[in-house]
Amino acid sequence: MTKASLVANKKNNIDLVLAPVKDTELINEAFIKELINTSDYKPLFVNSANIKNAIAELNSVLKPLQDGQTGREIRYEILIRKDATINIQIDSEEMLAEAEITSAMGGAHLTAKAILDAAKAAGVKKGFSKAELIKVAHMAAKAEPGTIVKDAIAHGREAVNGRDARIKPLVQSAQDRILRPKEQDGGRVDMRDLGDIICVRIGEPLAKKIPLTEGIKGYTVTATPLLPEPGQDTSLIPGEGTVVSPKNENVLISTKVGLPKIIDNGMEVDEVYKINNVDVGTGHIDFQGSVIIDGDVCEGMRVSATGDITIGGFVESAQLTAGGDITIASGIIGKKQDLDGQDADIRDFRMSATIRAGGNLFAKYCQYADIQCTGNVRIENQLMHSLIDVGGVLWVGEEDKANGKLIGGLISASSSIHAGIVGATAGSKTLVNFDKPLAAFADKIAKVEANLAVEDEKTSELQAASKKLKKLPQEPKIKAMLQKVVTTYQFHAKRMGDILNEKEKMENQLQEFMASVYLEANEKLFQSVEFTVGDCMERTKREFPPSRMRYKDRKIIIDPIV
């Protein structure tokens, strides 16, 4: 039988050596490949063409021989050692460089340094990761011979844009101060003098400007610098009762004793009227500034202020009107007027406690009150049988958890409503609607439709005039008139198109608003809670676990809160 062996040559590659012997057993390509697979040279690159050439030459040598005769030795290089090769790829934005390695076939593996040098030669200059270089080198060394391994070796860094300058208040709002009074020795809290708690003194820092930042430069893997956008600057504006500190141009300080108020890009200090209680002995209060009441506002009294109203006690069947925030440390207690008939509509009720706030409202509890608030309303414990018109969020519960009770009443909302429990087992009607903002949308759309009707009428008139002029003899005067009519028609037709786009935009905004509002009961949603968005209304007929009522696809749905 012909003898086949694998022998190293001077190039450290492997030759196939055949010693021909004529017999009945033939050597073919499959035999040679099996010889390779069972040898130590399996990882090397196989030159299949030379195997074919060796078999062909063997057959040629054997052909004229007699059985048992030997022929000349045949030798072909069929296994070649190949070192690992590398191709460096840089993405189009030059923020990522990857090494594509074809693993070694019996040759030398690439070291992490060799990969680094190849990357540098390809133009990669920054963003290398030593860990990634070592990782990809190990991956390629362990990979099957001749396979492709690809991984990142360098990353660019995006520029980080600068932060805008901002104004940071250095004093708490009246609401924060009254809800978090300072403890005295022994952990006691003194609420008898709200003025000392919530007022600032002369020279007290009120606000600080945090300067803009320039941002952080970035770079590509090819070392192209990426420049950040610097932040926008803003000015620190001294309001009434404040001045820029002579020691620090970025700090506002108070020039008088009063109530601090945040204004755009600054602070102001409001004049303050302080009083212990408001009752028949003190009379009504109407003050240009802010009012601080240590105690209570008694039945039948009125308090009006252009600034904030802060009350340490409770409000009983009284009237409060503030241009800013109203903060009540205790609660609001009112009464509803007696109405003839058992089926009187809650919308017709009159409450003895009325609250009007141009800012936000806070109270611990509230019952039988008529409240109109431009900002947010937060009632900490329980809101019962009241008329609420809120321009922001209605939140019944603790500051970070809506776990209070919303029972009965009429809520005219402009945003979301949050409570722990909504409604009651007794089935008291709790009505929620969004009529006010929807009416504002309807008014805007109606004005747009009126403008559209005017433009439609004008374009119709101009179109008719154009047709008449075209029928007349086309003298220079007629042509000039026709041109003027056509130009005017084109103007109004374009105006119509703009108005139609404006109407479509408003209608889309209306749908987005309707889909954004909701009522959320984090603990229980009882029966007889009526939720209305536009023409869609749903009244609960049973008790629900934690749920959210909202508008979707022209109907009101109730989703479980998971």
Q: Nearest Cα to 405, choosing from 366, 349, 347, 373?
A: 366
On whether the CB atoms of residues 248 and 266 are closer than 8 A, the answer is no
Say what the pLDDT of residue 336 is. 85
> Which has the higher per-residue pLDDT, 213 or 197?
213
Would you kindly state where each structural domain of the chain is located, as residue ranges?
A: 3-80, 85-155, 166-270, 438-516
Q: How many residues does the chain have?
A: 562
Distance CA 533, CA 535 (A): 6
Strand residues in 343-429 grouped as ranges (E): 353-357, 361-367, 369-373, 377-384, 387-390, 394-396, 405-407, 409-412, 417-422
Determine the distance from the C-alpha atom of residue 107 to the mean position of all C-alpha atoms in its chain, rounded to a whole number: 53
For 33-57, what is the mean pLDDT? 92
Model confidence at 85, pLDDT cuts 50, 70, 90, reads very high
- Closest Cα to residue 543, out of 410, 426, 412, 431? 426
Tell me which residue of 258, 242, 259 sits closest to 205, measured CA to CA: 242
> What does the buried/exposed string (b/e) look like for 375-393 if buried means 16 or more CB atoms within 10 Å of the residue's CB?
bbbbbbebbbbbbbbbbbb
Strands 218-219 and 225-226: antiparallel
**pLDDT over 60 (residue 185):** no
Q: How many whole angstroms from its chain centre is CA 534?
A: 28
pLDDT value of residue 192: 44
Q: Is the pLDDT of residue 474 over 90?
A: no
Contacts of residue 227, Cβ cutoff 8 Å, sequence gap at least 6: 159, 217
Given pLDDT bands bounded at 50, 70 and 90, which one contains residue 189?
Answer: very low
- Where does the pLDDT of residue 179 fall: very low under 50, low under 70, confident under 90, or very high at 90 and above? low
Neighbouring-strand partners of residue 102: 85, 148
C-alpha 181/C-alpha 190 separation (Å) is: 8
Of 337, 429, 327, 320, whose CA–CA distance to 385 is shortest? 429
Instruction: Please state, in angstroms and rounded to a whole number, the distance separating the CA atoms of residues 150 and 134.
Output: 13
The stretch 253-273 carries a mean pLDDT of 88
Cα 544 vs. chain centroid, distance in angstroms? Answer: 30
- Which of 314, 317, 293 has its CA nearest to residue 305? 293
Q: Which tens digits make up the pLDDT trace of 327-384?
A: 999 999 999 876 555 556 666 778 999 999 999 999 999 999 999 999 999 999 999 9
Q: What is the DSSP string of 313-336?
A: S-EES-EEEESS-EEEEEEEE--B
What the block records as the tokens of 80 is 């070649």
Q: Which of these ranges, 54-58, 73-77, 417-421, 424-428, has the smallest mean pLDDT? A: 424-428
Which tokens hold the place of 262?
């945040």
Average pLDDT, the chain: 90
The token duo for 15 is: 């030759």
- What pLDDT does 180 receive? 61
For the stretch 448-452, contacts whose Cβ atoms lie closer than 8 Å and that sit 24 or more positions apart, written own/partner, are 448/499, 448/502, 448/503, 448/506, 449/503, 451/499, 452/496, 452/499, 452/500, 452/503
pLDDT for position 175: 67
Q: Which of 307, 368, 351, 355 is nearest to 328 (CA)?
A: 355
Q: What percent of the chain has pLDDT over 70?
A: 93
Residue entry with tokens 């991956």: 139
User: Average pLDDT in the 436-453 region?
Assistant: 92
Summarize the confidence of residues 110-130 as an average pLDDT.
94
Q: Which residues of 470-503 are buried (b: 16+ CB within 10 A; e: fewer)?
A: eeeeeeeeeeeebeebbebbeebeebbeebeeeb
Distance of CA 521 to the CA centre of its chain: 24
* Residue 191 pLDDT: 46
Element holding 203 (H helix, E strand) = none
Structure tokens at 78: 């069929």
- pLDDT exceeds cutoff 70 at 562: yes
Token pair 């009244």 is found at 539
For residue 242, name the pLDDT band (cuts at 50, 70, 90).
very high
Angle, vertex CA 261, rays to CA 259 and CA 264, nearest 5: 160
Tens digits of per-residue pLDDT, 287-319? 988 999 989 999 999 999 999 999 999 999 999
Looking at the DSSP bridge assignments, the partners of residue 77 are: 15
Residues 6+ apart with CB under 8 A from 356: 320, 321, 322, 371, 372, 373
Using pLDDT thresholds of 50, 70 and 90, give the confidence band for residue 24. confident
What confidence tens digit (pLDDT) does each residue in 124-153 have?
A: 999 999 999 999 999 999 999 999 999 999
